Amino acid sequence: MPGTIVYGQRRLGKSHCAEFIKKYLSDLLGYKIAVVLMCVRFHDSYRENDFLDEIMEALGESTPSRAGKVMRQKVIVNRFLVLARRCPYKKVILVLDDAQRLQNMHFEILMTLQNELYMQYKVMLFTLMVGQPQLKTKRDLLIASGEKQITARMMADEIEFVGQRSLEEVKFSFNRIDQHCFYPARSGTTFTQGLAPEAWAADWRLGNEAEPVWTAYTSRREEMRLNPIEEISMEALTKMASYIFQNYANRPEFTGLTPEQTTDVVDSAGMLQLEALGQDENPGGGEEEGAEQTDAS
């Protein structure tokens, strides 16, 4: 499958997820595979060479002087070939962040690169497009307009990226910090044990705070009319965990958050305010993305 899309609302952690894939995918798969991460930039007008230059920049290549489209593509293909040699299965992954900005021209360029790499060198270039919900809308519009050569190749599957949407998921995340996140790495000392040793010795765990944090956070979302109500982004979750460790769990004789402290944790993380601000400024997805949807259709 040459390509898929991952879409979700802003501030859920999609970009951090892309960085995680770049850093740890080889370890998860058990073999070396190169992951190239690039951010699709917004332009008032789109030109082929601009996009090729952005791919080259992501690959760590500079644009040759007086290079045209063909030369740029050659440099890109050669660089992907070098990266593919590291993988026993001759694969390379290109992660495109903010992919809702892509236009049909960009898809055609990517398919051209895929075709050349596979037809001439049997190298598979897998594209993972990460973006806001407008990316799914773009896929739906392409399917409706019969652009199967794009959707079947570049958007064969879709995955919605969401935050923590249940108390059980929040408990799982906090329990992982208690039991499986070590600092320093492989030290055997978990974050909770190291950052709150006295509370740890008294059998306090971050997981104990999952239910009060979930209840307070979702209540604030309902008050602020944020949708969906039952959702905590991973960024918000980690900020709240850090705030608990830095401001409460390291105190002498700490055994758990009070209701007032839980409210402070939720408010001080700042993510709800940012989300509300973004919703007010961009209720319909933004001028930029709205224009792109028109172009895609």
Exposure pattern of 268-279 as b/e (b: 16+ CB <10 Å)?
ebebbeebeeee
Domains of the chain: 3-160 (3.40.50.300), 167-279 (no CATH)
Mean of the pLDDT values across residues 32-51? 91
In the prediction, which pLDDT does 280 show?
58
- Cβ atoms of 72 and 263 closer than 8 Å: no
Q: Is the pLDDT of residue 34 over 60?
A: yes
Per-residue model confidence (pLDDT) at position 285: 43
For the segment 163-183, what is each residue's pLDDT rounded down to a tens digit?
A: 899 999 999 999 999 999 988
Predicted pLDDT of residue 187 = 87
pLDDT at 48 over 70: yes
DSSP 3-state of 34: strand
Q: Give the pLDDT confidence of 99-146 residue by residue, as tens digits.
A: 999 999 999 999 999 999 999 999 999 999 999 999 999 999 999 999
Q: What pLDDT, on a 0 to 100 scale, did the predictor assign at position 282?
A: 55
Per DSSP, helices labelled H in 32-68 are 48-58
pTM, full prediction: 0.76
* Helix/strand/coil for 176: helix
Residue 296 has pLDDT above 70, yes or no: no
Q: How confident is the model at residue 271 (pLDDT cuts 50, 70, 90)?
A: confident
* Mean pLDDT estimate for the chain: 89
**Does residue 278 register a pLDDT over 70?**
no
Asked if the peptide bond before residue 212 counts as cis, ω within 30 degrees of 0, the response is: no
Structure tokens at 210: 């999952």
Concatenated DSSP letters for 125-147? EEEEEEE-THHHHHHHHHHHTT-
What digits encode the pLDDT tens for the residues 187-213?
889 999 999 999 999 999 999 999 999
pLDDT of residue 297: 31
